[in-house]
Structure 1
Amino acid sequence: MTGHQARQGHAGTGPGSITPDGCAVELYARLSAGTEPEVIRSAVPPGASVLELGCGAGRVTHPLVALGCAVTAVDESAQMLERVRGARTVRSPIESLDLGAERFDAVVLGSFLVHSSEHRVREGLLRTCRTYVKDDGVVLVQREGADYHTDVPREREDSGAGCVIRILSADPVGDGVDEVRAEYVFADARWTQTFRSRRLSVERFEAYLGEAGLVVDRYLTPDGVWALARPGER
């Protein structure tokens, strides 16, 4: 565990450093990016400037750099940022990010961060997205699938990383929030992560973006997990 205090409802176990929100640095350095970079790349022009919020150990950052994007990668964990290569890195909480007058062709808020259990945190995340996107730019937000909180337990294989990812439970803790328990099993190591996630209908999700001055233009994947939004009125 790092020296920072763990966040309520968030914890992690396993080898190496673990951030206050329960993310294991070594785990996130091992996980594959899957199709996420291609989804993002389909929505931004070649050579686009991309602000990646909550980049972690560079799981998505590195493929985006390889695809020719100029990436500014933001995370509040120094241990995570030490793993990032080829991108400009900024250590900061997303909600209080200060990049002055800089604006980007695309702002990416992945890892289901929009489902934060705390309203003030979600509002801060989306406010940052709106602040740093160009007037003609796009904001790409990853949201949970429709059955994320009900299809449990479940598992899938991350063949690129050589591990099995299991969502063990999603137990209600009040106010529309579930405490989710996940397990990541490799041949040589095992990690667990517990975190809190707010259930969001499509209507509620789009309303929250609207409150931040963002308008959902379309969904980039058939399951509705990736949304493309554009700047609207604040």
Structure 2
Amino acid sequence: MSETTREGYGGTGPGARTPDGCSVDLYRRLPVGEEPDIIAAAVPAGARILELGSGAGRVTRPLTARGFAVTAVDESPQMLEAVEQISGVRTVRSSIEKLALDETFDVVMLASYLVHFSDPQVRDAMLRTCRRHVTDDGCVLIQREGLDWHTRLPRERDDGAGGTIRIRSAAPAGDGVDTLFCEYIYPDATWTQTFQSRALTKEEFEHHLDEAGLYVDKYLTDDGTWVRVLPRR
């Protein structure tokens, strides 16, 4: 059974669905991209990583295989069922904004464009979670949307495993938020997902980091989508 879906979020297709409209079956199928290479190049070998919003473990698995000690956090028990099958991974069921572990980590990851969450209070709480759980000499890795992510539409790409990911449209939902509609097309199944996202300029992004006690150390990719962030002491 699917969990209660947030307003403005949803989807279609086989299998259970999380509150933000993600299909658990789909996310178990999606292959990993270049994320593990970007992460491994930006942090110390063997680092303790807190992965916020792990989903079904698409990135968790290769990071663990590379020798990182990963604690995976997700609010969906159905997503975490898949992560629990990965040897050596610790799982925590919690929303990101309410997470309160009595420990800190070498690396905190906020991927999947979660920094663009539609509710600014939730976004800011997520960033405070990052600051609260990173060691003073550690780092936070954040994945941002590209600058034209809401306007270069429709667009599609091959996912590398026989599927096509298509971002079809973005419609204004008010207060700087867009509602985006995506399709995931495979030979044996098709899923759709509708979700909301708040575009952020580089200046807005860095302002929100500063308010959470964080600052940019380095933009890790040419398109600025992956960023290494450090805690203010």
For normalisation by structure 1, the TM-score amounts to 0.97
Equivalent position SS for 1:108: strand
2-structure distance, mates of 1:139, 1:194:
28
1:196 aligns with: 196
2:133 aligns with: 132
Deviations 1:80-139 (CA, angstroms, capped at 9, x unpaired): 000011310000011111211x11010000000000010111011001000000000000
Deviations 1:43-73 (CA, angstroms, capped at 9, x unpaired): 1111100000000000000010011100000
| Identity percentage of aligned residues | 61
Matched, 1:41 2:43: no
Question: Where does the alignment leave 5 or more consecutive residues of structure 1 unmatched?
Answer: none
Matched, 1:53 2:55: no
- For 2:99, give the aligned amino acid: L
Equivalent position SS for 2:139: strand
Deviations 1:3-58 (CA, angstroms, capped at 9, x unpaired): x3210110011111111110000101111110001101111111100000000000
1:185 aligns with: 185
1:205 aligns with: 205
1:72 aligns with: 71
For normalisation by structure 2, the TM-score amounts to 0.97
Equivalent position SS for 1:42: helix
1-structure distance, mates of 2:157, 2:44:
32
Matched, 1:116 2:132: no
What are the residue-to-residue correspondences of 1:1-234 with 2, within 5 Å? 1-2=1-2, 4-84=3-83, 85-86=86-87, 87-100=89-102, 102-159=103-160, 161-233=161-233
Deviations 1:154-181 (CA, angstroms, capped at 9, x unpaired): 001111x221000000111111110000
Equivalent position SS for 1:106: strand
2-structure distance, mates of 1:137, 1:20:
31
Equivalent position SS for 1:7: coil
Structure 1 runs of 4+ aligned residues shifted over 6 Å read none
1-structure distance, mates of 2:11, 2:19:
9
- For 1:107, give the aligned amino acid: V
2-structure distance, mates of 1:96, 1:174:
26
